[in-house]
Every structure is written in structure tokens, then in C-alpha cells.
Structure 1
């Protein structure tokens, strides 16, 4: 029996066993099959459910369901990474979490599966911002959040060392596919409908979704999708991926062919080496999906939208000034900013190669009342974090794909006047975690209204294949209808940032990591 067939049979058998186990929905400790969870925010929560196991640099295999009662009341370790040092980290990190209003086999609620941000290098779904309880309760859906392998452990390109490593450049993506297979096989016992699975993700999580939309192994595993400030137009080419592998091995002081040492060394050494300079982009080493011609046979949105996912309805969103979240307005990059040094400060932050003195002059002519800081954040957002979304939305429209809805979050944080509407700020609105540590939304009436609007839209897509907002019209060319979300209010505008879109389209966008 092949490994793939064994995995499929295990999944089917696991699903049957789970469905056959009685659900004790009103016991003090809620139980679904062997899993013992807890009550949280008015819903049932099951945390730290294992969905797979994997040896280092090997494709993960599914995990049979436990044969005895298993506590799933707390989060499992997260993937090894340079971030989140206060959380337990382990290479054994293939766990997911489920929140459900009612573990009833007959409920057949829509399922929302979340993939976290942090590019492909960092992050976790154990962040309080992405706790799924409030979304499950208010949205009346089943929420699943997934951890998986990251950075070199999930995406280093080792295929040049032999066919044994054919999957190596996309292991993190294959983990997500395995988690979605687990959902398909088992979610009915938690009250979910395996025929209505929506994937959604922020930043790197959205990029992972865009990549899955071009991976044959993911076909049919989800039925709608939403990305929040996360795009993947092209994947890394194998030659650039190999340069990064060589840089990693050099940082570890390994001989160029010593892959066996890479397999056995302490994981802490690998994580430490991630800080070495990336030979393609500069900055720290980038590892992400690779055009491996094994699991990823084409780029996600180049030269067009991947045909396999054109039938999937989709939400695409960004925030108005993305870069205020990771270029601190109080930090050194903004210190002493003025018209004389503005262009120099913008250059290293953008992914479109234009004469930045010319760009600044165009902004000053178009917006004569703007300050250097306003131009800086608008230009770095439009030249770095936003173009990928425009490309994806345009390519879907050109291809006649299923409806796409585009939003732009404009609501500024009421907690920090210098933050504006920045990267990650839409997370607490979608999850309903306004008061969670790290949220910049506040809890005022505007925040609550924005939460209700965003949650209704996302849950609506999961339930019915279209957002739950009647006024939100799909994105088509040439109109480019966009839902602009303000302080508890929304309005649809055609091409609201047309001037900036056209300015930055003067030259090609370069996908980070490609």
C-alpha cells in the first residue's frame, strides 16, 4: 500500500470512528470522541488536537485518533522560530484547535479554518487575538486554527540532495493540506459541515492560502477563502531557494553536501542560523513555498489566477496604511524625516523599482497638504504591501473566476494616534477579540460596530459563499468595487486608490522571497 493510500484510509477510518463515538454535549467536561475539551466563552473548545507527525524534512503523515480519553484543554507547542520566545516550541508542532457552539452531528455548521501570519518564518494561532471562541459563538460557525512547520523546517529546499527530499520546499504547505484532510474527515463530529469549509488567514496566512489555491493536493479541501493583508503572486524559484539553502548551511558551518548533519543537529542551531543574511533579498533568511514541480506546479497568480481555484469565492482585504505596524512611527526610520531624506528612507522599504525622487514629487503634487510622514507610509504601503492584492483581484476578474470581494480597512486605532489603520488591525474585528492582549481596536461603539460588520461578512462567506453584507458588490474590471470600512460604517467605492494604483503599476511588482 502506498503512503498516500495509507494516509487516505487512516483519515477515512478516523472519521468513521470519531463520528461513531457518542457526544456528551452537556457534561461538565465536553467530550467529542476521545477528546475532552472545556467550555469557553459560551462554546466548546478543544485545544491541542494532533493532526499529524513528521520527521525533520520529511512529509508529515496523519495521526490515528487516540484510543483512550485524551485531554485537549490547552494549546500544544508551537513551531520552532526566532519569535515568541515565551511560548513552548517544538518540532512536534502539528496540532490544531476547534471551537464549536454545539458538538452535534446534525448541526452541519459552516467551518472556518484559520492560518496564522508571520510570513512563513514565525507566528502561531495560540495568540489571544486568534482565539476562536467569540467568532464561533457570534458567527454560529465551527472555528479551527492550525499550527504547522515554519522557516527552514517547513520550507528549506533540499531536493538537489536527492529525490528523498522532493517535498522539502513545501512541507509547511503540505502540513496545512494534512490539517484540511483532518477537518474533512472529522469535523462533522464537532458540529461542522465538511462540505462548507472556508480558509482564512492574515498576512503570511493569506499568502499560504493563495499558494494552496495553486497546489493540486489542496483541490476540493476548501470551498471559499479570505485573505487579510496576505498575498502570494509567485513562489520562490528553485534556484533562489537553493541559494538560501547554501547560505543556511554556510551559517551552520557545514560542508556544502553535509545534509546528514542538517538532519541530526539540535533544532536550536537551525533557528539561530535563520538570522544570517538572505543572499537574494537581504535581511534575514527567507524560506517560503518553492516552485518544486512536485507539489507546486505553477505560480499562484502568475501569469494568471490558478485555474483549479477559479471556482472558489474569495474575500481579499488590506488595511489603509499597512506599514505603520512594522515601521515604527516613533522608531529610527522616522527620526528626523523630512522632504530632503524622504526618498532615501522609502527606497529600502518598497518592492517596485521606481525612481523614488520622481515618486515623491508625484505624491507632493497630488497631495500638497501631506506631511513627509504621510507620504512615507502611503508610498511604502502602496509600493510594498498592497500591490499583490491588486494583482490577485485583477487576475481573478480577468479569468472570470467566482465572485471576489475586496475590502480596505480605514478605521484608525483609537488607542494610538500614530498607528492609523495598520497591518494586523483587522484580526480582532474578524475574531471578535477586541479586548485581547495585542488588540489595537479598542472596545468602543465604533470597534463593536466594525467587529459586527467584519464578522458578519466573513461568516457569511463561510455559510453561503458570499459575504453577509448586501451592499458589498463583487470586484470586477474596470470598476474595482471596494468596501471601505471606516469607524463602524462601510461604503462601497470604485477603485478608491486609483491614483496610487496607477502610479505604482508603472513598474513590475516583485514578490518578496521570489
Structure 2
């Protein structure tokens, strides 16, 4: 028998498998952002009569495909349709009162969806969690800002996420979830989104714990930088830099232009052209517009914003190798390029020498991956943990260190490699190009259990991160505890990151 649940906007009919897990897919949490709503804040969905079938994934946010070779390494789903502000729910018992986890997908704010098969929530529901995945506006639709004369709200993608969390608050009890125990978790741009949500007044009270994987609270754009990106987008399209003119551009042309901007930034990361996006390498990101996002998130968090939200944060050991090894960039990095990129990150020559000493014999491309990993991911994670612990909130830090055998072992423990372990989906064929043929199930058991424990009790199973001990759970085979790992390298970035 197919289960039916009544939400505030209408009834939905899901499916139940032989495992007893009920699944509800393609539930609208906001109106379709089409026509006059394309660049408008999310609005409630139109209520429906009768019972809506919720047995298949719905449309996903418009996006260009990943460029090669990422298109082979990162699973992606593209389902056309305008009504893509939807979410999916897995529950073991609609009559229960269980912890809730809400997944915010990554994709550099321009790709990804909550409908990737590897994000299936069955394992979480099996272990007593109501799991929610969602779609939100990407690229210019989600993060366009055109400067002081642009009176429309920035950060529509973040406002979509907040609308989804409001839907969870108002409806999740009918699916067996406890609206007072909501954990948001996300990876890459999803984690960076959560870092912003922690600093957004309108998100206060919508979640109680947060897990940030390979992203924290540093990656945002100033209004000036965002306006430069918006102006360049309009120039590429040959239209005036207004929302009205950009909204009139056919979708395929807009997506192609967004993809071109990403290529331009990577080819010429000049701050004079792109502002902060030149270092972040993402043209569309959360914007500190002073309205929806009043301050740089890490600064607001350090001053006590969302101090009641416990945090689990971390990264993979070799994050940036995903972007240097498969692309062929690693062997092209020279000593001069290494020095110039390190200087752009704010690391002085003495710091580069310290990395050379820490990794004797490493090629410039390998040293660049180490430095970029620290600047992009590791240091923001540690700074967030420091800020939370100094405010008296619990903060737990992890590092994923299992090296993938893919690409001849060159990927190491790279960006995105931990995601299938968190979801207990290491056998999903979509992850095989990233993980190889035999990823360790025992590591998935350990990592997935830690995420469930944190959502359920607030304790993932190791000591909280506090100075000077700086305890870090390293997820390898087997998991271990480390105390102040890479301390001499962390100290190099004091005052920089």
C-alpha cells in the first residue's frame, strides 16, 4: 500500500519498499521560479486538490553540464522543468518523532541537484533519521547581484534553502521528523551555503546542528565583486546589465555564458577583473549584500551569531588534487606559478619554504595542491571550529584521509571523495570513477554512523575541538584521532585565514 501524507499545501502519495522505508519525491516547497518569479524571492507553492503522486524525482535547477573531466568524476542529474524548487523525503516511520537531516548539495553554486542517486536517503532512514534533499536556484538565477542600483534581493539560492527549511519546520512532523532536531549538512558549495545560513538572521531557529563538508564560512563575494561578475555576464550576452534584460535571455544562452565565465576566471584569475571570485574561482557565490547576508559569515559567527548551533566541520586531506590531477594541471605548475599563487592567497615566501620542508621532494604541482587545499578548505574549517568553540558551542572536526586508487592513486583523498561514505553508498556505480572498484565498506559504516550520531545526540563520537589540543577525527582505514595535526602549517596562516 502506498503511504499518503497531508502537507500544508496538499496530500502526497509516496512509495514504500520491502525495507519498510517510505519515500516521497518531488514535493514542491516553493512556487516555480519562472516568468516574473525568475529573479523573485521564493513564494509558497500553489495548494493542490486531491493527492499528488510523489514517486519520482522532479525537475532540477537549470545548469550547464560539468566540463570535462569533471563530467566523468562527479555524478550529475538534469531533469528539465520549471517547477524545480522541490524536495525529497525518506522516513522509516511517519508516526515517530525522529531527528531530521537536510542535505544541501554542492556544485560550485552552478551545478548539482538533490536528485543524484548517490544522495538517496535510505541508509539514513534505516538508521532512524528522516532525510531530506532539496534543489535550489543556481548560477545567475540564484546568486546574481548587479550593484547598488540592483534593488532585487541577492542570494535567491540561499533564500530557496531557507524556504525549504521552513517547509521542514511546518511539515516534517507529518513524516515522522522532529522539527526541534534538524541538522543541515552539505558538501562544497552546500557547506559554504550552510556557513552563510549560520550568519543569516532569517535562518535563525530553522536548524539546530550543522555539518559542513569541504566548505565553511569564508567563500562569499562583496557587492562590488558580484557586480563585476554580473557586468561581465551581461557583456558576454550582449545585453544591458539589468535583471529584466538578463531574464529575457533564452535559458540555453544564459547557461552557456555562465560556463564561459567559469572558464575565464580559471584562465585569468585577476582580482582587478573579478574581485574575490578570482581566488574563489566561482563566479556565482553568496553575496554580502547587507540585507539578506549582513556580514561576512565567519566574522558574524566569531562574534556569536548562531552560537546555539553545534557544528561538525572538516575536509578531505587532498581536496585540491581533484582539480589538478585529472585536468593535467599538476605537471604544468612551475616554481614561479607556485610562488605567485601562494602570494595571491596571502602566504609569504617563508610559508612556501615551510611547505617545501614539510613535503621534501614534492613537485611544484603537489605543493600547490597542498597550499590550495589549506587555503580553500582546511583553514576555513579550522577557523569555523575555533570561532564556535570560543563562543562555547560544541564544534567537532574531521579529516577524510582514505586515498582513492583512481587515476593511478593520484587523486589521494580528494574533494567529494567522502560523500558516498557519509551516505553509505560506496557501491553506487556513479561514484566508481572517483573511488575505484573496492572502496572500504567498514569506513562507510564508521563515517555514516558518526553523522547519524551527531544528528541524533550532538556527539559524533570523539572529543570536541578546543585549543590548544585541536582534536581531529581522521577517517581512514581505520579511523584514528590526531591532536593538532599539521600545526606548524596551520600557524603559517594566522592572520591570513
TM-score normalised per structure 2? 0.87
Specify the SS of the correspondent of 1:428.
helix
The aligned residue for residue 18 of structure 1 is: none
Identify which of 470, 488, 491 aligns with 1:499.
488
Does residue 1:269 correspond to 2:266, yes or no?
A: no
The equivalences for 1:212-361 within 5 A come to: 212-233=197-218, 235-256=220-241, 258-274=242-258, 275-276=260-261, 277-278=264-265, 279-280=273-274, 281-282=277-278, 286-302=283-299, 304-305=301-302, 307-328=304-325, 330-335=326-331, 341-345=334-338, 347-348=340-341, 352-355=345-348, 358-361=350-353
Deviations 1:314-366 (A, max 9, x none): 100111000122222x54312366xxx2452574488623345x544323333
Taking structure 1 as reference, are residues 65 and 443 closer, same or farther at Cα in structure 2, changes over 3 Å only? farther
Give the conservation status (yes or no) of the 8 Å contact 1:351–1:383. Answer: no
> Helix, strand or coil: the match of 1:200?
strand
Three-state SS of the structure 2 residue aligned to 1:49 is strand
2:453 and 2:14 mapped to 1: Cα distance? 27
Name 1:196's counterpart in structure 2.
181
> Structure 1 unaligned runs (5+)?
1-26, 510-514
Which residue does the alignment assign to 1:430? 422
Relative distance call for 1:203 and 1:243 in structure 2 (3 A) is same
Q: Which runs of 5+ in 2 are unaligned?
A: 67-75, 266-272
User: What is the match of residue 64 of structure 2?
Assistant: 82
Alpha-carbon RMSD across the aligned residues, in angstroms, is 2.4
Q: Is contact 1:46-1:97 (8 Å) kept?
A: yes
Residue 39 of structure 1 corresponds to which residue in structure 2?
16
1:158-169 aligned within 5 A: 158=146, 160-161=148-149, 163=151, 165=152, 167=153, 169=154
Corresponding residue of 1:17: none
Q: CA deviation at 1:125?
A: 1.6
Alignment deviations for residues 408-450 of structure 1 (CA, whole Å, 9 cap, x no partner): 1111124552221111111111101111133244675x72221
Partner in structure 1 of residue 48 of structure 2: 66
Match of 1:134 in 2: 123
Q: CA deviation at 1:200?
A: 0.2
SS where residue 499 of structure 1 aligns? helix
Aligned to 2:440: 447
How far apart, in 2, do the equivalents of 1:421 and 1:301 lie? Answer: 26
Distance 2:105 2:426 in 1: 18
Q: Deviations over 1:74-130 (max 9, x none)?
A: 1111111122686224443101000111222xx101000000001212111212221
Q: Which one of 2, 24, 48 corresponds to residue 26 of structure 2?
A: 48
Determine the C-alpha separation between the residues in 2 that align with 1:491 and 1:151: 39
Secondary structure of the residue aligned to 2:374 is helix
The question of whether the paired residues in 2 share the 8 Å contact of 1:116 and 1:123 is answered with yes
CA distance in 1, matches of 2:44, 2:114: 20
| Cα deviation, residue 211, structure 1 | 0.3
